[in-house]
Amino acid sequence: MDHLLSAADLSRADAVRILDTAAELAATQGREIKKLPTLRGRTVVNLFFEDSTRTRISFETAAKRLSADVINFAAKGSSVSKGESLKDTALTLQAMGADAVVIRHHASGAPHLLASSGWLRAAVVNAGDGTHQHPTQALLDAFTLRRHLVGPQPLGQDLAGLRVAIVGDVLHSRVARSNVDLLHTLGARVTLVSPPTLLPVGVETWPCEVSYHLDEVLAQGLDAVMMLRVQRERMSSAGGGFFPSPLEYSRRYGLDARRLAALPSHAVVLHPGPMNRGLEISATAADSPRSVIVEQVANGVAVRMAVLYLLLAGGRREDVS
């Protein structure tokens, strides 16, 4: 593995290897001393063209727990806001000796461009590009699902046979795309639940089922339900008019106490955060014992540590005989 650009690039073996590595690393994170010396002397650059405090601090924590040096490069207030191109930014990072670049960009495909352009030698990790992919989010979701639903010895296992519903604004969601790709690779059966206006063109070609009715899908018996963040602005005509009103969305697609009770007793509730309490998820559901939303944050650090370890710890291909 030279880069992590898309969940669709991962084979089942790749994905299981990342999850197993994350499991061993998660075990070290319960210790008093959480820092490992593994990536000492390596430099990880967080290159964020879009604001994302959660993802950035998760990557920053992961890199620091492995003793890498972290440079945070936010587009706001930097040379990028003065009109510097992605190419010049990349050349600058190469000159500074970056070993890995974690990139968040509003344009789909920017990480791919960075990885394939030859501008820099660093490993590129996609931390979210446009409406395209967010592979580490899918990996941490898969890790969380495996931990709760595959037992008692999850190491080496995939998610075969699990039924997962992903509910909400699929159209604008790179989280949904990444999860459909990865969960399918790992053998889970995924159903997207969304109003027709919030489904992308071509969704029928994705390796999943699609439904417009949350209650029908819940009645089929799920192992997990993943709620997506819905932006309130999309509910008004100014924001694209995807749905008549937040209240109507919440009634038809929100996870409330009644729908929570309809889930089997072993099922878990996921959300990538940040949540809109009262819109896509009620406070009852968000704070229930079924909710693994806070655990997802901790698992995110372990999964990102695993990705950085697998990308950076070994010799680079051309250096290894």
Partner 1 sequence: MSDRHTPAGAREVLGADDISRALTRIAHEILEHNKGADGLVVLGIPTRGLPLAQRLAQRLAAVEPGFDPGTQLGTLDITMHRDDLHRAPVRPIGATHVPDDGIDDRTVVLVDDVLYSGRTIRAALDALSDVGRPRAVRLAVLVDRGHRELPIRADHVGKNLPTASSERVQVMLTETDGRDAVLISGEEA
Residues designated as active site: 54-55, 82, 104, 134
| Matching residue, tokens 């089922």 | 209
Q: H helices of the chain, where? A: 12-28, 53-65, 86-95, 110-116, 135-149, 174-185, 214-219, 246-253, 257-261, 283-286, 293-312
Q: x-or-dash pattern for partner 1, window 265-284, by CB under 8 A?
A: --------------------
Options 7, 16, 18, 25; binder of partner 1; rule CB under 8 A: 25
Contact partners, residue 61, CB within 8 Å, separation at least 6: 301, 304
Nearest residue (CB) to partner 1, 221 versus 314: 314
Cα(7)–Cα(153) distance, integer angstroms: 24
> If we measure between CA atoms, which residue out of 280, 275, 281 comes closest to residue 294?
275
CB atoms within 10 A of CB 26: 18
Cα(213)–Cα(107) distance, integer angstroms: 31
Beta bridge partners of 189: 163
* Stretch of residues binding partner 1 (CB under 8 A), selected from 18-26, 157-165, 250-258, 277-285: 18-26
Q: Is 21 in the site for partner 1 (CB under 8 A)?
A: yes
* Stretch of residues binding partner 1 (CB under 8 A), selected from 84-92, 135-143, 271-279, 305-313: 305-313
* Stretch of residues binding partner 1 (CB under 8 A), selected from 3-11, 107-115, 186-194, 307-315: 307-315
Q: x-or-dash pattern for partner 1, window 27-66, by CB under 8 A?
A: xx--x-x-xxxx----------------------------
Q: Is 157 in the site for partner 1 (CB under 8 A)?
A: no
CB environment 281-315: b (16+ within 10 A), e (fewer): bbeebbebebbbbebbbbbbbbbbbbbbbbbbeee
Nearest residue (CB) to partner 1, 28 versus 131: 28
Options 59, 73, 119, 309; binder of partner 1; rule CB under 8 A: 309
* Residues engaged in binding partner 1 (CB under 8 A): 17, 20-21, 24-25, 27-28, 31, 33, 35-38, 309-310, 313-315, 319-320
